[in-house]
Structure 1
């Protein structure tokens, strides 16, 4: 087939959280770039929806990941300033452990290793400071003031808007059906047209293995459910997170909590009142077969809220499902293939969105320069050989 859709310096396959950032970074550096998205911009089928994400630095212990986390925090603020869009709310963040202190001890070590401000709290101290929480006396907690909440769909829209302003082309509702390396670059066939480019960037999330053979059988798309519950009673007063730049001292900080070995998280509402809850209950699924949420998804989240955050255990406001794509070791896959013509970000394991601006920079570096100043050696695909 003769290419009819034009030629670009780079084509980005998948314009979600990371793909939108890569499209923006490539266009900002002067590249002609085409972003292709099989669904809408933004959409609710992948890993970048759900209204909010927690930016929590205390869980990022190794130096390479911490460097990406530091850059991501800075880049989110830069994106706000450039686009004039309200994206981040500074809230602080908590790690809580019930029935063992390993997660809190790990977070404490990370903070100490990287010189991050932090404060250890007992269960009673936690409840006294934040009456909306009702963790038991034996709980251990660590508070880190740099935590924040980012508006996830707004982040995608902001990156796409900035990319368009920088000259990028973004096409939604256009599915890539095949691509191949050709002389001088790559050819990409979609269900609408055919395009050529010098380089390809694959940020297809749960569909990445369909685009990159080397990922087939390696990354694992999984279903993940979340719930939003309305405030309940007087203890609900501090649940709503403020807007960016406002004092959030009266709000409950978002948390990750390990209860008898099972992981949960909660984020105070911003566009919805109350609180969003989730847990690490990832069930393998084909990405096109993602099922709607059910009462069975809701029950364990409600039980957790009723016991530990009773002020946020009111009526159900929203249930949602999305996709998390896990790598075998829970670490990112960042690499190049096809003699450097293809840059890949995959297997982000439920942690990719908060890093999106930094990962977009890395992918732009790999695409335009063939390398990056960020240390991504630990994320290479060949570590699984």
Structure 2
């Protein structure tokens, strides 16, 4: 039996960042991961994740996004590697689009740099798009993408350098509050910690049963295409974008590593009842869905398929996060699920989780993410 200040369960996006912030503050901390870090069974793989300041989901996310940018740049400074690339973000939609109107409202409320573009102006700047005449867009120059596998690995590397311990390929069987702390039950082993952070992604319901009725595990497919016109989608020519189209909402990234043009639908393509059911099972129907979208809106990218990967959105009914102290015991911090739009915030959520584990509170406004709001709501 070993005593720690904090045990962090799950070392994906949020857990790796929490481990880093806790270790950096001098806490005796252990991170526990059921697989190898960097695995492709959850939500933190796939080469790139979008980041933006103007937030169509809700304006209250903007202060967290600002802090996330600061923390990503600090991670780069400490690690000596680049994880955030600014390309600008183009959010495109039909009249009345929630994406366009929401991003515009958030940008205006928080005084963010942005432009509203009609299809004529979009065509002048980015002629590779083919859009209906009545579409418009919000352009955010600060947007871009993160490299999730690299960023997670750097958080873990720096955490270890600051004294964090790690247990990998080690499933957690239970989390049990005691009079003296919190017991983390492993196979053949028990760990004692003063506080525990549960950042288990799509597996979180197994450790926080209160969440189970409120979560949906959405199957998401990422596609990479060899573009018909490589120059049209290379880094420097194409920004990160999201299009609220007639039949789907999809997003894409410039080809920055030679792996191809990456795109995906924001809508799911199936539901898993348990995270362990997830498989790398993308097939022809998934390819057709994205190819049809590209033929309609970005035909320059619609060349031969190079690769497909599945990942998981762990969604709440209102699609906001859950970041809170457990109502069962305040020594347990519940982290995520992030409903498919959380990765960009990992650097600041790690900071928030360290605050909650150490002090039971944080200076960041996370009132929107309280677990109590889910009572009575069913996914």
Considering the TM-score relative to the shorter chain, is it more than 0.5? yes
User: Which of 165-174 and 272-281 deviates more?
Assistant: 272-281
> What is the deviation of 1:12?
0.5
Q: Distance in 1 between matches of 2:252 and 2:90?
A: 10
Q: Does 1:381 align with 2:377?
A: no
2:294 maps to 305
1:343-382 equivalences in 2 (<5 Å): 343-382=333-372
Cα distance in structure 2, aligned partners of 1:101 and 1:335: 32
Residues 67 and 227 from structure 1, CA distance in 2 versus in 1: closer, same or farther, beyond 3 angstroms? same
Corresponding residue for residue 263 of structure 1: 249
Q: Is the 1:68–1:358 Cα contact (8 Å) retained in structure 2?
A: yes
- Do the aligned partners of residues 172 and 239 (structure 1) sit closer, same or farther apart at CA in structure 2, a change above 3 Å counting? same
Match of 2:208 among 209, 212, 217: 212
In the alignment, what sits opposite 1:157?
153
Structure 1: stretches of 5+ with no match in the other structure:
242-249
The DSSP-based 3-state class of the residue aligned with 1:303 is helix
What is the CA–CA distance in structure 1 between the aligned matches of 2:332 and 2:205, rounded to whole Å?
A: 14
Q: How many pairs are equivalent?
A: 371
What is aligned with 2:276?
Answer: 288
Cα distance in 1 between the residues matched to 2:255 and 2:19 = 29
Distance 1:129 1:209 in 2: 46
Q: SS of the counterpart of 2:54?
A: helix
SS at match of 2:293: helix
Once the two structures are TM-superposed, the CA of residue 171 in structure 1 deviates from its matched residue by: 1.7
The CA deviation string for residues 172-224 of structure 1, in whole angstroms up to 9 with x for no partner, is 11110112001211111112522110001000010000001211211222211
What is the distance in 2 between the residues matched to 1:77 and 1:67?
A: 16
Which residue is equivalent to 2:87? 91
Check conservation: 2:14, 2:336, Cα contact below 8 A. no
Give TM-score, length-normalised by structure 2.
Answer: 0.94
RMSD: 1.5
Quote the residue 1:254 is aligned against.
240
C-alpha deviation, 1:18, in angstroms: 0.6
Match runs of 1:180-259 below 5 Å: 180-233=176-229, 236-241=230-235, 250-259=236-245
Look up the match of 2:316. Answer: 327
| Structure 2: tracts of 5 or more residues without a match | none
Q: Once structures 1 and 2 are overlaid, which stretch shifts more, 27-36 or 253-262?
A: 253-262
CA distance in 1, matches of 2:302, 2:263: 10
Q: 2:172 aligns with which of 176, 184, 187?
A: 176
SS of the aligned residue for 1:180 comes to strand
**Alignment counterpart, residue 103 of structure 1, candidates 99, 102, 106:** 99
Instruction: Give the CA deviation at 1:269.
Output: 2.0
How many Å separate the matches in 1 of 2:271 and 2:336?
16
In the TM superposition, what whole-angstrom CA distance separates every residue of 1:146-172 from its partner, at most 9, and x where no partner exists?
Answer: 101101100110110111111001221
CA spacing shift, 1:192–1:304, aligned 2, 3 Å: farther
Which residue number in structure 2 is paired with residue 245 of structure 1? none
- 2:102 and 2:72 mapped to 1: Cα distance? 26
What TM-score do the two structures reach when normalised by structure 1? 0.93
Output the CA distance in 2 between the equivalents of 1:160 and 1:229.
31
